[in-house]
Chains A and B, each alone.
Chain A
């Protein structure tokens, strides 16, 4: 191996991430799937780290789901994206951070398309002006919100109350990191570490005391894939992909999975129940599954937030065994109490996979 060559390749995939002043856009689906994650992002960045992260209620979908399901053309998506950039320009920001991996991929694709075909950018500017009389500047820096948490990972570790370490054995917890496909597989130079060795989540895990698990299907899709899941006839294909990943990671006995995409944590979490129903197999210990977290949830746990304030009661796979390993205190009776401390009702529990 030529060490200098490797260093050059690695430096090609490093990403400049400004330290402050970000315009933040939320995801369409994350707030339904894991509602506290985005709330935690703003809480950590503004409250804990004291950064300027601005968001506006006028922000809409980026059009990514419709685009990847082949229901709208790219020109429409680019005009929607142009409107988001116009909102950022009006707010006086130059750094754009997206919470959704598909949005991040969408923004990257739009900017790359404009770079290669400047006449298209002119056309989209015209479309936007005709549609809503807005103008925009392109963002100076485009990032995914996991890039920012990665950038501030050491600060979070310093302020953290817990580490990803088994409190009984003192061993680092074994964490599977799963990166959303649209993060760096489309434009490798846009992500930290590129498509082959994305370091964005691995860096967080290592800084917070955990150990990253390497397994054969590490870069395989979670199985969501818009046209796989959204077309019911293809859902078997979706769950088969997830099954393949779990079969591959099972021998390495991971304690948890950390993800940075809206769809991945949802499908890796929910499909474990479906797989357990169909095959009778669970991948965690003693009939439990492997808990799946977003990076904001893990950051929140490290910082010592109450697990129920992080929305962990909405996970299909029980998170309690993972919390016990770290030694995070929680009140089991408060699991299904809302923010107003009133009961939010309990879900039916399956027989195939152990849950609380």
Chain B
């Protein structure tokens, strides 16, 4: 293969026809408050683990909506519950994480 000094980068386009949103759909039934998330990022800002390992509840919810795998992120959560305390929409994010874990188990 010729080396041109540059290469193709993967497209970040989401094909919504091929997106697998099963986990998000189930969570909408078990934890309907997930629908009220407005992606403000308060959960991520207050997260104890975030500065050390990149944990972000906002990204987890966004990834679920996009049908992406969130398992690597979940392992970083310490279940301290600070995100639940600061959520302006009152979403029980701690419970949400447990529900996601339950689904994957």
User: A interface vs B, CB < 8 Å?
Assistant: 232-233, 235-237, 239-240, 243-244, 274-275, 277-279
Name 29 A/B residue pairs within 8 A (Cβ), A-sorted: A232-B6, A233-B6, A235-B4, A235-B5, A235-B6, A236-B6, A236-B7, A236-B8, A236-B9, A237-B9, A239-B6, A239-B7, A239-B8, A240-B8, A240-B9, A240-B11, A243-B11, A244-B11, A244-B13, A274-B4, A275-B8, A277-B1, A277-B2, A277-B4, A278-B1, A278-B4, A278-B7, A278-B8, A279-B8
* Residues of the B chain whose Cβ atoms lie less than 8 Å from the Cβ of A278: 1, 4, 7-8
Having A232-B6, A239-B8, A240-B11, one finds 8 other A-B pairs with CB under 8 Å, namely A235-B4, A235-B5, A236-B6, A236-B9, A277-B4, A278-B1, A278-B4, A278-B8
Closest beta carbon of chain B to A264's beta carbon, Å: 19
Residues of B within 8 A of A239 (CB): 6-8
Shortest CB–CB separation between residue A20 and chain B, in angstroms? 46
- Main secondary structure on A side of the interface with B: helix
What is the minimal beta-carbon distance from A155 to any residue of chain B, in angstroms?
42
The docked-state distance in angstroms from the alpha carbon of A237 to that of B7 is: 8
Interface contact A232-B5, CB-CB below 8 Å = yes
Task: Compute the total of residue contacts between A and B using a CB distance below 8 Å.
Answer: 31
Chain A residues with CB under 8 A of B8 = 236, 239-240, 243, 275, 278-279
Nearest Cβ in chain A — how far from B87, in angstroms?
37
B 1-21 to A, binary, CB cutoff 8 A, 1 in contact else 0: 110111111010100000000
Residues of B close to A277: CB separation below 8 A? 1-2, 4
A278 to B5, CA, bound (A): 11
Binding site for A on B (CB under 8 A): 1-2, 4-9, 11, 13
Which chain B residues lie closer than 8 Å to A243 at the CB level? 8, 11
Residue of A at shortest CB range from B2?
A277
The residue in chain B whose Cβ has the minimal distance to the Cβ of A244 is B11
- By a CB distance below 8 angstroms, the chain A residues around B13 are 244
Docked complex Cα distance between A278 and B11 (Å): 15
CA distance A243 to B8 in the complex (A): 8
For B11, list chain A residues within 8 Å (CB). 240, 243-244
A243 vs B13: C-alpha distance in the bound complex, in angstroms? Answer: 13
Enumerate chain A residues within 8 angstroms of B7, measured Cβ to Cβ. 236, 239, 278
Instruction: List, in ascending order, chain A residues with CB within 8 A of B4's CB.
Output: 235, 274, 277-278
Complex CA gap A275/B13 in Å reads 19
Residue of B nearest to A271 (CB): B8
Distance, CA A239 to CA B5, complexed state (A): 12
Nearest 10 A/B pairs, CB to CB: A236-B6, A235-B6, A277-B2, A240-B9, A240-B8, A236-B7, A243-B8, A236-B9, A244-B11, A278-B8
Q: Which residue of B lies closest to A273 (CB)?
A: B2
Q: How far, in angstroms, from A243 to B9 measured CA to CA in the complex?
A: 9
Q: How far is the CB of A229 from chain B (nearest CB, A)?
A: 10
Q: Across the interface, which residues of A come within 8 angstroms of B5, CB to CB?
A: 232, 235
Question: Who on chain A is nearest to B7 by CB?
Answer: A236
Q: Report the minimal beta-carbon distance from A215 to chain B, rounded to whole angstroms.
A: 14
For A235, list chain B residues within 8 Å (CB): 4-6
Inter-chain contacts of B2 with A (CB < 8 A)? 277
| Distance A277 CA – B8 CA, assembled complex (angstroms) | 11
**Residue of B1, B8, B13 most packed against chain A (CB within 10 A):** B8
Q: How far is the CA of A237 from the CA of B8 in the complex (A)?
A: 7
Tell me the complex Cα distance, A279–B7, Å: 10
Residues of B within 8 A of A275 (CB): 8
The smallest C-beta distance from A184 to any residue of chain B, in angstroms, reads: 24
A176 to chain B, nearest CB (A): 19
